[in-house]
Structures are given as structure tokens and as C-alpha cells.
């Protein structure tokens, strides 16, 4: 997965504003990757449940 440089810099800026800690590019990419993985895990069951509900009532 390749993120635009602007997205990485924006994440670093927001992280600094929230936690008062500057991240290296490597730290930033690790955190972003972990957040995406968490999102996939959380979102997938929601999506599957919604698809089941749609089929049930559709």
C-alpha cells in the first residue's frame, strides 16, 4: 500500500498536535499500517452483518 506523501505528513502533524510527539517516517508508516489493519478487522464483521441483513430483508 502506497500512501501519498501529503497524507503521511498530515498524519504526523495531527499525531504531534494530539500527543506532542514527533514521529519518524518509519514510525508513522507502522502506526498507519496498524490502524488500517484494526479498521479491516472491525469493519469486516460490520460489513458481513449488514450484507446478511440486506439479504434477509431484500
Q: What is the pLDDT of residue 3?
A: 86
Q: What is the pLDDT of residue 1?
A: 64
pLDDT in tens, the chain (58 residues): 688 999 999 999 999 999 999 999 999 999 999 999 998 888 777 667 777 776 766 5
Q: What is the pLDDT of residue 13?
A: 98
Three-state SS string over 27-42 comes to: HHHHHHHHHHHHHHHH
Amino acid at each position: 500500500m502506497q500512501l501519498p506523501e501529503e497524507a503521511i505528513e498530515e498524519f504526523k502533524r495531527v499525531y504531534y498536535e494530539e500527543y506532542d510527539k514527533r514521529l519518524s517516517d518509519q514510525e508513522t508508516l507502522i502506526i498507519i499500517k496498524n490502524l488500517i489493519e484494526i479498521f479491516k478487522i472491525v469493519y469486516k464483521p460490520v460489513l458481513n452483518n449488514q450484507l446478511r441483513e440486506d439479504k434477509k430483508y431484500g
